Amino acid sequence: MTALTAWDFSNIQEAREQAEREARHAQQVSDFLIETFAAANPQVTGVPEVTVKQVLGDRLEHVNTALSEQPDTQVRLLRTMALALQKLGEFEQSEATARQAISVIGDDPSLRAEHLYNAQSILISVLFETAQLDNIEPLIVQHSADTEAIYGADSEQAIMAANRLATLDFYRGDLEAAASSVSELLRRAQRVMGPAHHQTLLLAGNLVAFYYHGGQIDEALAVAETNYETASAALPADNQQVLALLTNLASVYNERGDHQLALERYTDYRDRVIRQFGEDHVNVVNAQRGIGTSLAFLGRHEEAAEVQRELIRQQTLHLGAQHPETLSTRGNYANTLSELGRHDEALIEVDLALDGLLDQFDEGHYHVLFARVVKSQALAGLGDPGTQAYIDATYRLIVDNLGASHYYLGSLKEIAASFSYATPDGGTAVPSVN
Rounded CA-CA distance 381/420 in Å is: 8
Give pLDDT, residue 13: 47
- 400-403 long-range Cβ contacts below 8 angstroms, 24+ apart: 400/364, 401/173, 401/364, 401/365, 401/366, 401/369, 402/173, 402/175, 402/214, 402/215, 402/364, 402/366, 402/369, 403/214, 403/215
Nearest to 296 by CA among 260, 322, 250: 260
What single string gives the DSSP state of each residue in 199-237? HHHHHHHHHHHHHHHTT-HHHHHHHHHHHHHHHHHHS-T
SS3 content of the chain, % helix, strand, coil (to 5): 80, 0, 20
What single string gives the DSSP state of each residue in 234-283? HS-TT-HHHHHHHHHHHHHHHHHT-HHHHHHHHHHHHHHHHHHH-TTSHH
434 burial via Cβ count (<10 Å: 0-12, 13-18, 19+): exposed
What is the amino acid identity at position 236?
A: P
Does this model's pTM top 0.75? no
End-to-end, the C-alpha distance of the chain in Å comes to 85
Give pLDDT, residue 61: 65
Give pLDDT, residue 45: 45
Give pLDDT, residue 11: 45
- Residues 6 or more apart whose CB falls under 8 angstroms from that of 188 comprise 154, 159
Rounded CA-CA distance 137/133 in Å is: 7
Give pLDDT, residue 233: 92
What is the amino acid identity at position 178?
A: A
- Residues 6 or more apart whose CB falls under 8 angstroms from that of 333 comprise 305, 308, 309, 311, 312, 349
Question: Rounded to a whole number, what is the largest CA-CA distance in the chain?
Answer: 104
Cα three-residue angle 169-170-174, rounded to 5 degrees: 65
What's the residue count for the chain? 434
| pLDDT tens over the chain, length 434 residues | 344 444 444 444 444 444 454 555 455 555 555 455 444 444 444 544 555 556 666 666 666 666 667 888 888 888 988 888 888 778 888 899 999 999 999 999 999 998 999 999 999 999 988 778 778 889 999 999 999 999 999 899 999 999 999 999 888 878 889 999 999 999 999 999 999 898 999 899 899 989 988 888 999 999 999 989 999 999 898 888 888 889 889 989 998 999 999 999 999 999 998 988 888 777 888 888 899 989 988 999 999 999 999 999 988 887 889 988 899 999 999 999 999 999 999 999 999 999 999 998 889 888 899 999 999 999 999 988 888 889 989 999 988 888 887 878 888 888 877 766 555 555 555 555 55
Q: Which 3 state secondary structure label does DSSP give 429?
A: strand
Q: Using an 8 Å Cβ cutoff, are 259 and 294 in contact?
A: yes
Give pLDDT, residue 72: 87
